[in-house]
Chains A and B, each alone.
Chain A
Amino acid sequence: MSAEAETKKRKIKLTIPEEEIMSPGHLACQGCGGALAMRYALKALGRKTIMAIPACCWSVIDGPFPYSAAGIPIHHSAFETAASTASGISHALSQLGQDDVTALAWAGDGGTFDIGIQALSGAAERGDNIIYIVYDNEAYMNTGIQRSSATPHGAWTTTTPVKHYKRGPKKNIIEIMVAHHIPYCATANIAYPEDLIRKVKKAKEIKGTKFLHIHSPCPPGWKYPPNITIKVARLATETNAFPLYEVESGVYKINKKRKNPKPVSEYLKLQGRFRHLTEEEIEYIQGEVNKNWRRLLKLEEVFGEPLE
């Protein structure tokens, strides 16, 4: 290599692990947030990971029999069984003496907020040693964009058409998981891969049930061109619509605070699923975003330190 090329190579600083575990050739849509989420999670966890995937986009993205893209062992399972399957895997790993292998449940919002919430709650209450990651594209995308309880207020989906758009807030899944007294809950965003990877690595080192909620934009479902996936994801956090925070054994820590958060309309206006909203409706959403942010700040204020 020439001196110039050497210098050039030394300049390269990778901010996330270099090794690719997931292979290309998978079936994710162009610009898929869920594909990026998996790529980052695998970089954080490494090859000693066994994953339970319920019905969700990744059931298809990984590829049909006889192929797989993920690069680690996967057990596909029924829709509501991400957490229960992962619990079984984690117990078997422990009984077989494979304590260095991570049991991971990888589910979409449908399989987490809705049909899978019982199994998730059960596993969390038992404190089963699993990492549960939900990549949230805010609807049942794999079956063609039907609403879930993670669909935000105002969104169009095929089951909440424009005249009956989804009313009511998303379930606050982090609060639900915090109520289970698990050691680690966190939100993450594919636009902030260093933060996401740090959180997954942190979860790996903790024993018990760990829960991560990844914001995962979807071009066909949210109705935007695939090249702005990262831009849309970033705006979610820059507008406080999707704050980045961790709750470690009940202690709240907000990871990113902007002095002047961007108006939520900047986030909404990029997505066709919100195109029908009037100015008043957007103002209402802004009000809800502000309220939730203030509430989160208060939680950090009150629960920012461990209680005696």
Chain B
Amino acid sequence: MNLGVFVLRRLGLAVFVLLGVAVITFTLSHLVSSNPLVAWLGRASGNSALAAEYVQKYHLNDPLYVQFGYYLYALLHGDLGFSVFKGEPVSEALLQTLPYTLQIAFFAILLTLAIGIPLGVLAARYQHTVVDYSISGFYLAGIASPYFLLALFLLVILTYTLHLLPSGGAFSPGIQTPYPITNFPLIDSLLEGRWSTFTDGLAHVVMPSLALALGIFGYITRVLRASILDVLHANYIRTARAKGVDETTLFFRHALRNASIPVVTLASIVVTWLVTGTLFVEVIFAYPGVGQYAVQALSNLDYPSMLAITLVLAVIIVLSNLTADVLYAVVNPEIRLR
């Protein structure tokens, strides 16, 4: 019943899961090659100085369980190996690219909600009419599209036909990039008062985010629609009417509040989609985020980067799921008892 206890328990579970993920990446790193150095340094394992350092620090000559212990130690200290094709430690590369991906994620979530929720409400309100069916058709097309289709589609229409938005990159050439304060370019440009940089950055982030949002909003619309219809028949709605509650308050305060509960459970699907889709969307729009980094690592067979990215993405997902679970408990008081 206590929200605090609930959060703590979920936190414990999250830690356990992350440990499990570390086990998996650790196993993978040892499947890459019989020489564990390859997983840390990739092609740089030839570099004798670096190699010696790593062998020493992480006891790469010791039995597996010892190595795992040091593996965890390394992770917690932010050492994720060295990326040859980037020419810098993986952690550095991640620090550079993660903010861009998070920017896309933020706007993607915003757009998903902005499109999905109103459409869900409309579809419920105009159930079984043309409006309802066209909304279904719309979101079905979105959900069914492979990650890259929507991106290409938007490119064709918004960029090449209507010339509304730029075709890629994070900023137009010639725009002054902001000085890194928070490392988030959009926030930094705002903080520094560089308005033109901000708007330019915004224009570049819209399409990748929209490409992602169009692919996932359908789940929210579908669930919300079904949920609203369900709730409107509930007995407590009848009670509220009997109390004399007006229709507007009835819909928003009573019905929607209950109807949105199932929608929160979609959070994990949404996050997974975002994380996966961003790989493709960033490649197509040449947006310098983790997705692009991952694909480059792939083609360069850069094991350290690949494994580190897998881990980091898992961390993001676990944390988002945790937040979603807590949000769910806030919104649905019955859950807190378990």
A and B held together in a complex: no
Binding site for B on A (CB under 8 A): none
